[in-house]
Chains A and B, each alone.
Chain A
Amino acid sequence: MTSPDRPRHESAMRRRLLLFGPFAAVLAAGGAFYVMLERETEGRFDPRGVPSMLIGKPVPTFTLPGNPGFASADLRGRPIVVNWFASWCAPCLEEAPVLMDLKRAGVEIWGIAYKDRPDATAAFLAGHGDPYAKRADDQPGRVAIDWGLTGVPETYLIDPAGIVRWRYVGPLTTDAIAGELQPLLRRYA
């Protein structure tokens, strides 16, 4: 080949490569969607889940009334699981036996009732078991916003220094307890 042909040949090659662009892009996107799908089924990917901003930070300051009610300053000295719940929340019903098992396993659980009437809360606990060592009521739901709560139930682990270490959205499962909570409890015990 003579020399003037070479740049032309190169530009033709470049053009051919360029034409593969859309195919490569779709291939990459398809692969990414497949990974999302896989992780979704395994429960490792949730595009809708709101991440907690509290992990690694101190519990927001609060004082709540209730039975007997508690304040952020009380969450010190030992690892405590804080569970947000409500009597009107169906998933909380589903969660109730799991929490009772957790209590029987010797884990200290404190409960905060979210936007619930105290008498309804009491009736709910009387009917489905009361796993809570202490219970507070957040009737206005204002403290919940400081916690970054998006719904009930949500469960948090507070370490002995009052730092939030873990959050779980939705009804707690035995898998989550065994796989995530127990190792953390052992670490911060």
Chain B
Amino acid sequence: MIRLALAFTLFLLAAPAFAISDPNEALPDPKQEARAVAIGEQLRCLVCQNESIEDSGADLARDLRHIVRQQVAAGKTDQQVIDWLVARYGNFVRLRPPFEASTLLLWGSPVLALAGGAAIVLLARRRQGESPPPLSDAERKRLRRLLDT
């Protein structure tokens, strides 16, 4: 939420919280901790603007970080952890929305944009390639007159 200041939104009056937290929070196994961070970065802090739970200092984000680590340590897969949170907070909690009917346009946007660009280029080139229309009889007459004189 503090990031809004970047462009002077300045409607930010809530005290900023920083994601500096308990050093004991991290899992002892660095591999598991890295996995927990990777999962946490895909989960939205529900009470913040647009931060992941890994970035946020909010209380709820801290609790969710803790739960993610508990589940990682218990051997759950990434998908299981994310599903557990989605069951409670819905797809809103995923910073990386799932690929489904309602997000088709979202995930399809790179392809659609490229296809649109290609289509415009092709249309423009086809137009460029078109030869000018043949002269009408009147024009031909005028041309002959011009050439004759």
> Residues of A with Cβ closer than 8 Å to B?
4-5, 8, 11, 15, 18, 50-51, 53, 115, 141-142, 145-148, 150-151
Q: Which of B59, B89, B123, B130 contacts A115 (CB 8 A)?
A: B59
Chain B contacts with A in 121-140, Cβ cutoff 8 A: 123, 126-127, 130, 133-134
Among B20-28, B30-38, B60-68, B95-103, the stretch that binds chain A is B60-68
B110: interface (CB < 8 Å):
no
Majority DSSP secondary structure for residues of A touching B: loop
Query: How many angstroms from the CA of A18 to the CA of B116 in the assembled complex?
Result: 12
Majority DSSP secondary structure for residues of B touching A: helix
For A18, give the chain B residue with the smallest CB separation: B123
**B89-120 vs A: 1/0 string, CB under 8 Å?**
11011000000000000000000000000000
Q: How many B residues, CB 8 Å from partner?
A: 19
User: How far in angstroms is the closest Cβ of chain B from A103?
Assistant: 28
- Indicate if the CB atoms of A15 and B127 lie closer than 8 Å: yes
For A12, give the chain B residue with the smallest CB separation: B127
- Indicate if the CB atoms of B90 and A150 lie closer than 8 Å: no
- Indicate if the CB atoms of B88 and A5 lie closer than 8 Å: no
Known: A11-B127, A50-B90. 16 other contacts (CB 8 A): A8-B133, A15-B127, A18-B123, A50-B46, A50-B89, A50-B92, A53-B89, A115-B59, A141-B59, A141-B63, A147-B88, A148-B88, A148-B89, A150-B47, A151-B47, A151-B60
